[in-house]
Structure 1
């Protein structure tokens, strides 16, 4: 399984994903689920994947293949004129891969359900964030729904609902995303370290953060321990209230 969260703010975009995938408790592996492209000063794009690993890997590989070996006139995510068009290209690639493999996989009883979050900004346009589904259709984040989650989202949702608005500062949102991930890590063994973090500041067109957080990372461990202590303290205080 997996957990990925992306947040759209007035000041930028935050992306966070885990790296665990499993086909049973005795078959656990790590796979990168976050992919980034950068043309400094022109565009930054991040994608995160969830669902059938072979499908999402094929979609990302197809998008990269088109970048590396473009046919005459072929539009790619690095030449598309807008983030909306980039989302369409991701949806088109999803349709191609699903059409190629879905029937054969269905005959063997394997689901091809997959999701891809894609976000970023191109010069001359606003930052945008999309959630692409298995059929290739997609929705866009709004002020009313400023974040997307895919995978095991239920454990990390409460803190996001309480903290995140479009006006939330970028550093606060990074902390909220990390605590959302920490809650998921503690409650679901199908989500695991290391983590990948990507941050794009509005109108900067370069990643301000694009890094991996390894297991036992001291800063993440300190954040996790502090959150646990804060929750225990809050619970103790609730014991003095009566209903």
Structure 2
């Protein structure tokens, strides 16, 4: 299983992913799910992936080959076209591999999150589905998730605001969201890759990989649990007697 998320605010983007892959509980590995495509000063993309590792590797390889030749993501005119370019490579791999997979009852399962910016245009965030079609984040829905999304969603819904949330706070929300998911699903796990992209930076310079022994990750985990417990104890008491009388 996988959990990746992207957050889009007026200040830029936060992209984060776990690194655990598994084919059953006895075949657990660590694989990087964050990939970057950068032409400094011109364009910067961060791509997160979930689903079949063999399929996502094929798609990333094809995107990288074209990028190195100045094609594909290196030449698209805008972020929508960048998302469509990823979708085209998804369809290309689907044409090559889907029939063989489905003969053995294996689903063609890949999802991508694309965040980034092209010079002269605003940053943007897209989700690309297994069929190759893209979905764009909006000011009203300023985050997107792929993989094991349900455990980490509540903190993002409550906390992320496009106009108000600064990137350093968005990064904390991202780590809490992933931490909550790791506590609930053992198939999601560290290291955690996280990237902050500041609007108009046009390069990837703020990026970290946090292992399970990273002191910052440990502190965030412990302090969040303590803050949550403290918040619950400070909530007003539930008046069961008055409720019973009203019934």
Spell out the pairing of 1:1-243 with structure 2 (5 A cutoff). 1-68=1-68, 70=69, 75-167=71-163, 168-238=165-235, 240-243=237-240
Deviation (angstroms), 1:239: 7.3
- Aligned pair count? 239
TM-score (norm 1): 0.95
Deviation (angstroms), 1:65: 1.5
More moved, 228-237 vs 13-22: 228-237
Q: Which has the larger radius of gyration?
A: 2
1:137-165 residue CA offsets vs partner (Å, 9 max, x unmatched): 11111111110000111111111001101
Residues 201 and 208, structure 1, Cα contact 8 Å, conserved in 2: no
More moved, 231-240 vs 77-86: 231-240
Deviation (angstroms), 1:11: 0.2
Q: 3-state DSSP class of the match of 1:90? A: helix
Q: 3-state DSSP class of the match of 1:207? A: coil
Pairwise CA RMSD of aligned residues?
A: 1.3
Q: 5+ unaligned residues in a row in structure 1: which ranges?
A: none
Residues 112 and 134, structure 1, Cα contact 8 Å, conserved in 2: yes
Q: Which runs of 4+ in 1 moved over 6 A?
A: none
